[in-house]
Structure 1
């Protein structure tokens, strides 16, 4: 099963991160990433740029409204993610407990990633997506 570990932090926690040597952060995260790779569970891992660089496209009106960042409350934002292929939610939880960027103000949300097999297989769009995934080596 695939699980996404979504890393979140409060404004205060992010400010404190600014006081930590970046090489130290890279060392901690690098060691954790290496563990995930050696365990054979890492599928993807990415950090995200500062929310001030982002935009929100609000499609609740016509035409959609585009708003420059920063946007939303901190609790609504996330700073990066891992996608793991693990046997269970419990295993995903155990990996999340070991994420090195931890402490007051840091949280990790865990969400299962649905698979194409969970959708109606007779749907023409699902058939097209399955063909694309097979052609690109994703299935």
Structure 2
């Protein structure tokens, strides 16, 4: 079954007032639980670079460059990976998480590689 990465950029939730964060977290957890109950959840998690979460880039030569790099728009703020039959279903889950997290979601399809699936 196809797998989809649903994600948002680091900083995408910065517009949310501090007092609303617990409500947003509760709503996001409810969507993740719904995906879990539906049997489509493969993974979910978020990143908090401000709290000291480590970020590194490892080059092809093995050189490690420690981050985070706040100027990078490529940092991911959070992810949800679902396994659903159609892109439309993935978009439905993305809409649910977008409403819960109050920010737009990026949806990408994983390449199908049967040798990498458990």
For Structure 1 versus Structure 2, the TM-score category normalised by the shorter chain is 0.7 to 0.9
TM-score, scaled relative to structure 1: 0.64
Q: Match of 2:102?
A: 102
Q: Identify if the C-alpha distance between structure 1 residues 41 and 82 changes in structure 2 by more than 3 Å, giving closer, same or farther.
A: same
Tell me: higher relative CO, structure 1 or 2? Use CA pairs within 8 A at least 6 residues apart.
2
Q: Identify if the C-alpha distance between structure 1 residues 111 and 18 changes in structure 2 by more than 3 Å, giving closer, same or farther.
A: farther
- Please tell me the root mean square deviation across aligned C-alpha atoms, in Å: 2.7
CA deviation digits over 1:34-89, x for unaligned, max 9? 21122221122122341862111122xx4x32211123754312122222121111
Which is greater in Rg? Answer: 1
Count of matched residue pairs: 114
Q: Identify if the C-alpha distance between structure 1 residues 55 and 3 changes in structure 2 by more than 3 Å, giving closer, same or farther.
A: same
Structure 2: segments with no counterpart, 5+ residues: none
TM-score, scaled relative to structure 2: 0.73
Q: Identify if the C-alpha distance between structure 1 residues 34 and 109 changes in structure 2 by more than 3 Å, giving closer, same or farther.
A: same
Structure 1: segments with no counterpart, 5+ residues: 118-128
Taking the aligned partners of 1:76 and 1:27, their CA distance within structure 2 comes to 26
Taking the aligned partners of 1:10 and 1:112, their CA distance within structure 2 comes to 21
Structure 1 runs of 4+ with >3 Å offset: none
Higher helix share: 1
